[in-house]
Amino acid sequence: MTHEILSPEELALIAEEETLCENVIKSIRQVHASRRPLQDSAGERLELLREEASTAKSADLPALFDQMNTQRAILGLRKDEPLPDPRSPYFAHLCLEEKGKRRDVLLGHLSFLQFRKNPVIDWKHAPVSRIFFNYREGEDYEEEFPGRIAQGVVIKRRVLTIHNGELLRIHAGGKSYRKTPTGEWTSDKGFSPSLSGGAGSANRTLQSGLGLTNTPAPEVSALLDPDQFRLLTADYDDPLLVLGGAGCGKTTIALHRIAYLRFKDPEHFPSNKILVVVPEEGLVRLSKKLLGTLGLSDVEVKTFDDWVEVQARKLLRNLPQRVCTYVPANVSRVKRHPSILSVFPEIVRRQMEEILRSAAKFLPGTPSLAEILRDRTDLSMGDRFDLAEKNLLDEIEAEAAHTAPMRTAAVKKFFMERRKRYLNTTGDRSDLFTNLEVLEKIAEESQGVITAAMIKDVISHALDQLGERPEDAYSGYERDALETVDGKSLIDDEAEQTISGTIDSEDFAILLELQAYKIGKQDHSVAKLKKYSHMVIDEAQDLASVELKALSRALDDDAAITIAGDAAQQIDPTHSFESWERVLDTLNQPRVYANYLTTTYRSPRTIAAFAHGVLGPIAPANPPDAVREGLPVARTIFPNEGQMVVFLNETLTQLMLDEPLASVAVLTKTPEYALSLYKLLEDLPKVRLVEHGEFEFKAGIDITPASEVKGLEFDYVIIPDASRGVYIDKPEDRRLMHVAATRAIHQLWVISVGYESHILPPEEA
């Protein structure tokens, strides 16, 4: 096989880097072997440099300051200070010129300052690394360093791959070179794929107007295929269940169906009685934007958590104001499991026994109460209260004794207080989440899914929440006495550090459903659950049974409901999807045939096939049909994170320069890594860290967890952590990467550090 002949200048560049690599590795091994103290000589050298700096010319000061910093670093070294791995000591070479003087710096994962001519600096902390990431070869730079402003020119900027102590790749000046197995050097395409041609692919607006076939209606047919058009115009007598993979148009159909039904029957479907429930805040924002283009900007769009909290605070008294920001996974699993509903009868039974004991004290001589309160299990708690009160009042009236007025008042007061206490389920959190017997019944009903360890976590978490609040602990103190030196209150400080006095977002649906169970069909509350004439539930596979039940009670008797979902995108580990039949049953809807969409309009065939392969054993039998071909999925394995960040930085910088209108998503597995990666890339143009789904839907680079992007789409998608040990071979990880990959409209780049995750499909030949 013949290789491209390199020019003398290119060969000289390669020889320079090989020599440098050999010298650095040799120096590291020498220090590792002899490891003698450097502090004494460094201290003497620092004193000499200080004296020299006091009389030096201004042009010599930058170099002297750098040497002083080096000696200070050596003084801070311990004898056991870790050394760079000689098999791969650094990954970048930078040569800077300031005021006519040049200096070389190497960037690696650990600092190595003993090689004075070309020190290795930890790229994560060194100010000089900002120059490497923000400037290209030949560019002037200006950066603020400790004690000075650094100004100069980048003379050399090279990215290197050193493996097992051997230099194998060089990327310099826009060109790449690699060492062949025979020891020859040849040109190479490098690590980074060419990201181009995708600006503006993401569909950020939808058109609307008038003009359905033969009848006035919203003009949406131009965007829909025949199957989608049929679903859009379906009658609303039965629920519409729309299933399909990513990019098949489920959300588009659901939102356009709102416009269609609203136009067809505006009196039955007023905008203020339509609810759209979506899984993430990002999709809330996008759905509102799309509905705005359809003239439906006043339609209510919410995540389930936001919607149910509003309803719970309207119907339940004395709920904690603070929502717990971190709920342990085990706690969430228990609270979202269907078996939580099975203990409602036990909660009512226990409370009825309490009520009978208090009745014996406050309403003596009323044995008939037990026949109703304890034994009439066919009635709700509220109905039992009504019947028992009526029977007692009838008995008192029949007796016509002189004590009748006093006894009547006592009976009315007793039941009024019991309704106030027991029909408001805020106080039932203790019975639900700290009572071991109740929780063991939940575990038994779950058939082994809920374990003893989970129960223990629930009790511990609930006790912390129900413990003494800081405002109660300091209730006897004047507020001025609690003020800290920073002007804050001790109460505020402690409230930030404790979960006492908080409520979990999972609790709202449970308490609402327990209240509904207690009240029955006769609504005893003053406030009412808001009712809707049309409800869209998007990504319904992520909603737990208790959450679906809460939504079902918010439907008018003749309401339209559109349910959209994809079991392959069920990524919440605290909930296990069972079946669409179970979803319909829980929503109290008739079982209907699902409408399957099999054509994806978002991703090209290459990306759709990759995403289908990621699902592995849990994938549907057939991949979705893509309407267009596309570029191959780019897959890159970097030897370390530092080199990955270098190439990611360069590729994204060039992409933003070439395509300033492109939308790019860098999708990580966890929020923590999204933040970490953003800090490394924050100097990129138009880069944003998106937390809690707060997307701006503007051109640029969004760094965010993959769990935040359901229903969204981007021109380019980069998965930077598709590495072994990050994405594990388990269903939730497969689904999460599937969601990430299927956000891409034009191009997908999958990056691994070290080794690829086992869930990645084999590369096509």
Q: Give CA–CA dist 299/136, Å, rounded.
A: 49
Average pLDDT of the residues in 59-73: 67
Query: pLDDT confidence of 207, banded at 50, 70, 90?
Result: very low
pLDDT over 80 at 327, yes or no? yes
Query: pLDDT confidence of 574, banded at 50, 70, 90?
Result: confident
- 226-306+523-597 homologous superfamily: P-loop containing nucleotide triphosphate hydrolases (3.40.50.300)
pLDDT over 80 at 693, yes or no? yes
Q: Give CA–CA dist 50/56, Å, rounded.
A: 10
pTM score > 0.85 for this model? no
Angstrom distances, CA of residue 303 to CA of 278, 425, 516: 5, 23, 22
Of the ranges 219-228, 407-416, 452-461, 526-535, which one carries the lowest mean pLDDT score?
A: 219-228
Contacts of 380 (CB under 8 A, 6+ apart): 517, 518, 519, 520, 521, 522
Contact 683, 133 (CB under 8 A): yes
Its CATH architecture, for the domain 605-753, is 3-Layer(aba) Sandwich (3.40)
Q: What is the pLDDT of residue 474?
A: 45
Amino acid at 525: S
Average pLDDT of the residues in 177-189: 85
Could you tell me the residue ranges of all domains in the chain?
A: 8-35+79-188, 226-306+523-597, 329-466, 605-753
The residue whose two tokens read 């029955």 is 520
Backbone angles phi, psi at 149, to 5 degrees: -105, 120
Pairing mode, strands 663-668 and 700-705: parallel
Q: What is the pLDDT of residue 444?
A: 92
Query: pLDDT confidence of 528, banded at 50, 70, 90?
Result: confident
* Better-scored residue on pLDDT, 719 or 64: 719
Average pLDDT of the residues in 118-143: 82
Percent of the chain at pLDDT above 70? 84
Q: Give CA–CA dist 209/214, Å, rounded.
A: 14
The residue whose two tokens read 């690696």 is 108
The mean predicted confidence, pLDDT, of the chain is 84
Residue 493 CA to its chain's centroid (Å): 27
pLDDT over 90 at 6, yes or no? no
Handedness of CA 723, 727, 730, 735 (dihedral sign): negative
Q: What is the pLDDT of residue 61?
A: 65
* Better-scored residue on pLDDT, 223 or 443: 443
